[in-house]
A and B are shown apart, each in its own frame.
Chain A
Amino acid sequence: MRIAANFAMLEFMSDDILQRVIKVVAEAQKLPIEKVTADSTFEELAIDSLDGIQLLFHLETEFDINIPDEAARQVRGIRELAEGVGKLVEQKGA
């Protein structure tokens, strides 16, 4: 949970990143975009572990980042996912 806690540092998540993450998730899962919100959990969206791996693949492409396995394993919902992506984007720019 240590990594998840790091991910919760909100300064890493801009609204732009959140919206792009939501778009990637909706497209990958073939969901109407209005069904996917910052508060959605993977469970609510019926995203299983294999779907999750595919989401990471699409997010790596969208943001040109490399998402480590360990960090990815902790994530349970869209907000956490966007925060994690935001942190990696920030690190890339640093």
Chain B
Amino acid sequence: MSRRRVVVTGLGCISALGPDVEAFWRRARAGESAIGPIHNLDMAEIRFQNGAEIAGFVPTEHFEERELIPLDRFAQLAVVAARQAVAQAAPGWTGSERQQTAVVTGSCYGGKASEDEGFREIYGSGGKRPRIHPMTIPRLMANAGSSWIAMEYGLQGPAYTVSTACSSANHAIGQAYWLVRNGVCEVAVTGGCEAPFTPGSMKAWEALRVVSGDTCRPFSKDRKGMVLGEGAAMLVLEAEERAKARGATILGEIAGFGMSADAHHVTQPSVEGPAMAIERALADGGVDGAAIGHINAHGTGTPANDPVETAAIRRVLGAQADKARVTSTKSLHGHALGAAGAIEAVAAILTLQRGEAPPTANYLGLDPECDLPLILAPEACDAEYALSHSFAFGGLNAVLLFRAYRG
């Protein structure tokens, strides 16, 4: 029995690069980094100052005031991205299809801003009657993105949230891909959402000493670490035959998915774990490494990740590692943690569909341990297959394989 193919018919994205997919792509393809000073928080007591914030996001332009009461920023972003993706796909759900459609999202730590704010009221109450907003729990739960997307469209199929730190969205998209491929459902809405800019979490990242004091310089000499970002991206996935039967515009195809665990160290990456995830994504898609023409790398810009990722790519792709063109769009939209894989999926799908690849920004020169064929200026891309990597703290790896859809 031939396996069902799974195509992408809708994309949504709100990130530091812009409020929608076209704005995202205009800046991404030009290699314009959205990293800059963080404005929405008092950063006076924080050792780093830069992030990738969404500029000009006004929640009341998207939601009624009353609707916003139970919605943390990360869930607002999820719904906004899902609306864009569903509007583009126009999936034409029947009632029974709505009952079957899956919603699978990724989030690293859910509604952290709401939690942080509530806890500050309690711990700082100074003996006064400590109280916390009654919507704190619904706001902070990491599955809020999935729940509100399901409610928005009355989708009653498998709906859940994956939380695997920086790999959350890739794990989520991979799960949704398999649900559609295996015939559990015909349509899925999937992606990731994150809004990490809160005082408490900035202090926590500062203490871990992995955030760059300047900017994000993936695979570059003198790179100093990652830069946090916020955002959400959502994809509408659909069984190919359904999309074709209704004459949908097909934007791309998901062709494989692979996962692994390092089982090694909580923050130090290994070569073996990521290499296994890449191998498994290729095997899942029945594709040889020699077919890979483009890679959207995990590429955090930390001293530890980038050489390890380089070695993993070399181990799996062999000679093709000197040919597959590599970018890390985290240099453009920051590291959006549980949304990162989804934002990068949008970039990879558009790269294959539109035949142009977004460069890695902020590069200062060669680090011999990161000697991949990096995309450093806007360039054409004629690749058929692209990999998109996510390798999380805790050693949990998820790799998606995308294919340009050519019918």
Which residue of chain A has the shortest Cβ distance to B212 in the bound complex? Answer: A69
> Contact at A50–B47, with CB atoms within 8 Å?
no
Size range of the chain B interface in the assembly: 10 to 19
CB < 8 Å neighbour of A50 from B224, B225, B266, B303: B266
Residue B36 at the chain A interface, CB threshold 8 Å = no
> Contact at A68–B47, with CB atoms within 8 Å?
yes
> Contact at A69–B47, with CB atoms within 8 Å?
yes
- Interface residues contributed by chain A, number (CB under 8 Å): 12
- Known pairs A69-B47, A69-B213; A50 contacts B207 (CB<8 A): no
> Contact at B267–A49, with CB atoms within 8 Å?
yes
Inter-chain CA distance A50–B395, complex, in Å, is 14
Chain A residues, Cβ within 8 Å of B208: 53
- Known pairs A68-B47, A69-B213, A70-B213; A53 contacts B207 (CB<8 A): yes
Interface string of B259-303 (1 = CB under 8 A from A): 000000111100000000000000000000000000000000001
Within 8 A of B (CB), among A54-94: 56-57, 66, 68-70, 72-73
Main secondary structure of the interface of B (DSSP, over half): loop
Residue B184 at the chain A interface, CB threshold 8 Å = no
Residue B364 at the chain A interface, CB threshold 8 Å = no
Inter-chain CA distance A70–B47, complex, in Å, is 11
> Contact at B47–A49, with CB atoms within 8 Å?
no
Residue B209 at the chain A interface, CB threshold 8 Å = yes
Inter-chain CA distance A49–B266, complex, in Å, is 11
> Contact at B213–A50, with CB atoms within 8 Å?
no
Residue B304 at the chain A interface, CB threshold 8 Å = yes
Q: List 20 A-B contacts (CB under 8 A).
A: A48-B265, A48-B268, A49-B267, A49-B268, A50-B265, A50-B266, A50-B267, A50-B268, A53-B207, A53-B208, A53-B209, A56-B209, A57-B207, A66-B47, A68-B47, A69-B209, A69-B213, A69-B225, A70-B213, A72-B209
**Partner-A contacts on B (CB < 8 A):** 47, 207-209, 213, 224-225, 265-268, 303-304
Give the 6 A-B residue pairs with the shortest CB-CB distance, closest first. Answer: A69-B209, A50-B267, A53-B209, A57-B207, A49-B268, A53-B208
